[in-house]
Amino acid sequence: MNHKLFYACALLALAAAACGSSTPTSTGTSAGSGAAGTVSVADSKLGKILVDGSGRSLYLFEADKGTTSTCYDACATVWPPLLTTGAPTAGTGAQAGLLGTTMRKNGGTEVTYHGHPLYYWAGDKKPGDVTGQGLDNYGGAWYVLDAGGNKIDNS
């Protein structure tokens, strides 16, 4: 139970920090140059999971409706979408046929995999972190995905 309190405090701290920002929503490109739009598969403590081009874990949001994202504003600050300016690229282990895109209401293009919009978790600080796994916030649960685009539920 203590881990839930920790995550709740972390979310509050992240939200408070975002309030002073001139751009309240993230572009999802903070993972590093060339990382946006690339999806690969890497080993993690949860098994093989989807990551971006820099090795940062990617998540699905169970509250999304098909390929339509429901994560905006404060949600997108702590769960930034993986955005692209062109066609997404399949990296090592990813299936090109499962990649797609969806338009966000703010005009950005978000990468999808097996029909799921993809997100980062602001609490993950380095490649391989999966600290957002199983969190339930902003109206739904968040999970990393396997190479087939299915959620990994380790509960």
pLDDT tens for each residue of 35-93: 569 999 999 999 999 999 999 999 999 999 999 999 999 999 999 999 999 999 999 99
Average pLDDT over residues 130-152: 97
Residue 39, class by beta-carbon neighbours within 10 Å (0-12 exposed, 13-18 middle, 19+ buried)? buried
pLDDT at position 36 is 63
In a domain, 95, yes or no: yes
At 28, the pLDDT band (50, 70, 90 cuts) reads very low
Residue 6 has pLDDT above 90, yes or no: no
pLDDT at position 155 is 62
Residue 122 has pLDDT above 60, yes or no: yes
Residue 146 has pLDDT above 60, yes or no: yes
Q: Can you give the pTM of this predicted structure? A: 0.79
pLDDT at position 94 is 98
In a domain, 150, yes or no: no
In a domain, 149, yes or no: no
Number of structural domains in the chain:
1
Euclidean distance between CA atoms 57 and 5, whole angstroms: 22
Nearest Cα to Cα of residue 96 among 139, 140, 150, 38 = 38
37, 83 contact by CB (below 8 A): yes
In a domain, 153, yes or no: no
In a domain, 113, yes or no: yes
Percent of all residues in the chain with a pLDDT value above 90, rounded to a whole number: 74
- To the nearest 10°, report the CA torsion of 61, 65, 70, 71: 20
Cα Rg, the chain, nearest whole Å: 14
SS3 9: helix
In a domain, 56, yes or no: yes
pLDDT at position 13 is 38
- Provide the CA 123 distance to its chain's centre, in angstroms: 11
In a domain, 61, yes or no: yes
Question: Domain residues for 94?
Answer: 2-144
